[in-house]
Amino acid sequence: MASITPIHSARPRVLEFFAGIGLARMGLEQAGFRVVWASDYEPDKRAMYDAQFGDTDDHSFALGDIAKVTVDALPRNAALAWASSPCTDLSLAGGRAGLAGAQSGTFWHFVRLLRELGEDSPEVAVLENVVGLATSHGGEDLAAAIRAFNELGYSVDVLSVDARRFLPQSRPRLFLVGAKNPPEDVPDPNSELRPDWLQAAYGDKSLRTHRAALPAPPAPLTEGLGALMEAIPLHDERWWDAARTEAFMSSLSPAQLDRVAALKRTVGVKYRTAYRRTRNGVAVWEVRPDDVSGCLRTARGGSSKQAVVRLGNNRFQVRWMTPREYARLMGAGDYDLSAARTNQALFGFGDAVAVPAVAWLAENYLMPLVRGSMTEAQATLPREASRG
């Protein structure tokens, strides 16, 4: 029996850059991958990662500045490199500095390490980020990222996947899938995965790109939030007091007030999420009209936490969303939160990628690429190369 190869050794190995609390790992491992190395610079996220996955001999974690990670620290024979690089300089809540920003610019250290791996670089490399990357600096940041992958030998596919296709949370994300041996380029008119605002990348003849033939993703959800909310007793201290609730109500617009009043009068309990925005220099609350959460975010860079509104049976109550609700809305409902502080958990999940979005991409695209089961063909080549 000692000579039998452990089953996990046959699973393709993954390097997980900017791992955060490990939600990408959860999605990848659901699809059959095995994460053997991870990195992040925030101790609080590392602590949550360790609580969830434990410390094992077949996995190592590099805590600290990615600029200080050397290629010697990376395991060889990885099939996939995944990077969820910081989005602060690309998101609406950030300064929109783009890939030149101090945080989002860490992408270039991911590129550096892939370059230094040389022939040992993985067959597939993925960058996950906010959709703002597609428009940052008029599209130049996206082109620069694709070009950087091209220089490493990867053809690139660019996809937009919203977590709302799997969970009741509106959370669109961009995925750049780099492949050394790309599948056939298949134009896909009216694509749900490559909408019109992504087509410029494929029309740029200086870039090497491809469009893999993929199944249509599930339709966006229109409900389900209420089913994920915790059943917190009506008199629990987490519900805001009368003065705070009145201040919340007074900030709503007339249209919002009418909507809330109508829901309050209905029979049964409904849940909605609320988000604080600045309108004409004044902080106001806005309540979503549907049974779906807005995008979970971290409370920094001008952004804010989400509140939960409970309506119906002539009652109206408001509280902050709980860490467990954040976890459920990210597809990680059983995540180990036993040692996490509330704000630590909210930051961790607010910075993360939804588990089922990663799992869908991994099952339908990344694993077939790694296994070589997609038809390999010449991808779209730069104009200069095609002349040869």
User: Can you give the pLDDT at residue 86?
Assistant: 67
- Coil, strand or helix at 183: strand
Are 284 and 371 in the same domain? no
Contact (Cβ atoms closer than 8 angstroms) between residue 269 and residue 316: no
Are 168 and 215 in the same domain? yes
Closest among 64, 22, 72, 58 to 40, alpha carbons compared = 64
Are 28 and 99 in the same domain? yes
Q: Give the pLDDT confidence of 328-379 residue by residue, as tens digits.
A: 999 999 999 999 999 999 999 999 999 999 999 999 999 999 999 985 444 4
**DSSP 8-state secondary structure symbol assigned to residue 215:** P
Angle at 382 between CA 379 and CA 384, to 5 degrees: 135
Are 139 and 27 in the same domain? yes
* Catalytic, out of 62, 87, 126, 161: 87
Are 150 and 25 in the same domain? yes
Are 122 and 43 in the same domain? yes
Domain that holds residue 311: 231-321
Are 71 and 138 in the same domain? yes
Q: What is the mean pLDDT of the chain?
A: 88
176: left (phi over 0), alpha (psi -120 to 50) or beta: beta
CATH number assigned to the domain comprising residue 110:
3.40.50.150
User: Can you give the pLDDT at residue 314?
Assistant: 96
Q: Give the pLDDT confidence of 262-319 residue by residue, as tens digits.
A: 999 999 999 999 998 888 888 889 999 999 999 998 765 445 789 999 999 999 999 9
In this predicted model, which residue has the larger pLDDT, 366 or 93?
Answer: 366
User: Measured between alpha carbons, how far is 122 from 126 in angstroms, rounded to an integer?
Assistant: 10
Helical axes 140-151 vs 107-117, angle rounded to 10°: 10
Count of domains observed in the chain? 2
Domain-embedded: residue 339:
no
Domain-embedded: residue 88:
yes
User: Measured between alpha carbons, how far is 318 from 339 in angstroms, rounded to an integer?
Assistant: 26
Domain-embedded: residue 2:
no
Are 25 and 117 in the same domain? yes
Mean pLDDT of 100-119: 79
Are 207 and 254 in the same domain? no
Are 211 and 256 in the same domain? no
- Coil, strand or helix at 76: coil
19 token code pair: 């791992």
Q: Active-site residue 295, yes or no?
A: no
Are 210 and 235 in the same domain? no
pTM of the model: 0.90
